[in-house]
Amino acid sequence: MEPRSLRAPEPLLFEVSRPGRRGYDLPPLDVPVEGHNTLDARYLREDIDGFPELSEVDVVRHYTRLSRLNYAIDLGLYPLGSCTMKYNPKVNEKVARLPGFADAHPQVAEEMIQGCLRLMHSLERALCAICGMDRFTLQPAAGAQGEQTGILMVRAYHQERGNPRRVVLIPDSAHGTNPASAHLAGYRVEQIASNERGCIDLGALRRRVGEDVAVLMLTNPNTLGVFEGEIEEAARALHDKGALLYMDGANLNAFVGQARPGDMGVDVHHLNLHKTFSTPHGGGGPGSGPVGVKRILEPFLPVPTVEREGDRLRFQHDRPGSIGKIRSFHGNFGMFVRAYAFILAHGPAGLKRMSETAVLNANYLRKRLEGTYHLPYGAPSLHEVVFSDRNLEATGVRTLDVAKRLMDYGFHPPTIYFPLIVRGALMIEPTETESREELDAFVAAMLAIDAEARRDPGLVTSAPHTTPIRRLDETAAARNPVLRWRPRGKES
């Protein structure tokens, strides 16, 4: 018999099922069944073929073992660049579970959910103050949906002026969701090159912007973690031709409390509550991508908005210029509660300190690693830093190998091969929630991997060695995914 390891792959419940095992142990029924509220026999299923039969302890151990295979922010640093995987304070969870919030049905009468409406209204006011915008919609369920909402509002704005225009300009460093959102809104996407600092090339923008351009989508700080210092000039160049400026504000964690998109000439932007304001994300979980607008775009906000009427609050559905509904009900309400709790707990001074610390942590990692790993862009970093695998070229170790080897050291790998303008990119974002000790442990792992690559590259290129599943064939996984489980012996 093979010895069992706690790191062995966990079988499915179907595979460990044993006939006759039960998850409960009750005395036999000693009252007649007939005449009680039992379901009519024709609605009862005789048997479920292959239904797993397990004891309670089997089930508990199965799920506990699975939970231990998961890497989470509650286990350690999660330096996934662009994703802002900060720690989510447990108090957020506590307030989100208050029955008045958690049990509010989305179709309950407005008089009965004044508290929920007040939270939405207050969150909107807080976001307006933080970002320097006039209004926010809280409805989009993610950053990407926020982008689409924003671009649809831009389209409605131009349409009202008689011509929706044809083109959306996007820098070559942008997140892939930007061109996707523009395309979904019916626009043709044109790329604008970056300059040697990794920022938008203002000359190229000025040459291209014309009456056919609807909007520029600019990420600030951009995906290299570099602040777009000429954003005001970009806004002026666009506004001179009647075009608008959309800011992808997913990286807002870099300057919350320091600067405001609304003061930079931005007309519309989304932000990610699940990044900047600490709500759980990843794995496609619930998110929230509120969109802030200047007055000129307010008529086009999706419905409903939350409006004050005397001392009452209400949903306003009747907005003739609105782009309409973009999501069922009122958005991911539980995320609003968490984000608002986070904002109130920090206050203006706390939020300012938060972004300062996020930038400090990223720059600490940059300083400790830039002598070893290649830094493709030398411009000052804000909240994240992008390295490449160029210094490892002679060893044959690539970015993917470094990422895999990090798992053996107990870290989630950073974002890799993004942004696309950096070959072999390693994009590292520590966020403000990491201690000096945790950052030092990460640095030590990165330096150890560099040393291993030079001494014993095979060790790195065959990593990971300590995870339940070893190196996967990523191409086969993408090209030939096996998505259906079949019992052992019946795999084909």
Ligand X SMILES: *Cc1c(COP(=O)(O)O)cnc(C)c1O
By CB under 6 A, name the binding residues for ligand X: 82, 142-144, 175, 177, 219, 223, 248, 250-251, 272, 287, 289
Measured from the CB atom, the residue of 142 and 151 that comes closer to ligand X is 142
CA distances (Å), 165 to each of 17, 235, 479, in order?
61, 17, 38
Tell the smallest beta-carbon distance from residue 34 to ligand X (Å): 55
List, as own/partner pairs, every contact residues 378-381 make where C-beta atoms lie below 8 angstroms and the sequence separation is at least 24, other chains included: 379/197, 379/198, 379/199, 379/224, 379/226, 380/226, 380/227, 381/224, 381/225, 381/226
Measured from the CB atom, the residue of 430 and 464 that comes closer to ligand X is 430
- Phi, psi for residue 204 in degrees, rounded to 5: -65, -40
Tell the smallest beta-carbon distance from residue 248 to ligand X (Å): 5
Residues 6+ apart with CB under 8 A from 56: 23, 24
Reading the block at residue 186, the tokens are: 């019916």
CB-closest chain residue to ligand X: 143
Tell the smallest beta-carbon distance from residue 231 to ligand X (Å): 15
Reading the block at residue 213, the tokens are: 């351009």
Tell the smallest beta-carbon distance from residue 290 to ligand X (Å): 11
Amino acid at the residue 448: A
Tell the smallest beta-carbon distance from residue 147 to ligand X (Å): 7
Tell the smallest beta-carbon distance from residue 77 to ligand X (Å): 18
Measured from the CB atom, the residue of 133 and 250 that comes closer to ligand X is 250
Measured from the CB atom, the residue of 245 and 453 that comes closer to ligand X is 245
Residue 236: CB atoms within 10 A of its CB come to: 13
Residue 313, SS3 per DSSP: strand
Planar angle of CA 344, 348, 349, nearest 5 degrees: 115
Measured from the CB atom, the residue of 251 and 461 that comes closer to ligand X is 251
Measured from the CB atom, the residue of 140 and 464 that comes closer to ligand X is 140
Measured from the CB atom, the residue of 272 and 395 that comes closer to ligand X is 272
Give the whole-angstrom CA distance, residue 492 versus residue 490: 6
Helix and strand element counts for the chain (H, E): 15, 12
Measured from the CB atom, the residue of 289 and 413 that comes closer to ligand X is 289
Tell the smallest beta-carbon distance from residue 146 to ligand X (Å): 7
Tell the smallest beta-carbon distance from residue 347 to ligand X (Å): 25
- Enumerate the β-bridge partners of residue 478: none
Residues 6+ apart with CB under 8 A from 216: 168, 169, 170, 192, 205, 209, 234, 238, 243, 244, 245, 246
Tell the smallest beta-carbon distance from residue 219 to ligand X (Å): 5
Give the whole-angstrom CA distance, residue 242 versus residue 334: 38
The answer to whether 383 and 221 have CB atoms below 8 angstroms apart is yes
Tell the smallest beta-carbon distance from residue 178 to ligand X (Å): 7
Amino acid at the residue 102: A
Measured from the CB atom, the residue of 271 and 460 that comes closer to ligand X is 271
Specify the length of the chain in residues: 492
The answer to whether 182 and 189 have CB atoms below 8 angstroms apart is yes
Measured from the CB atom, the residue of 54 and 266 that comes closer to ligand X is 266
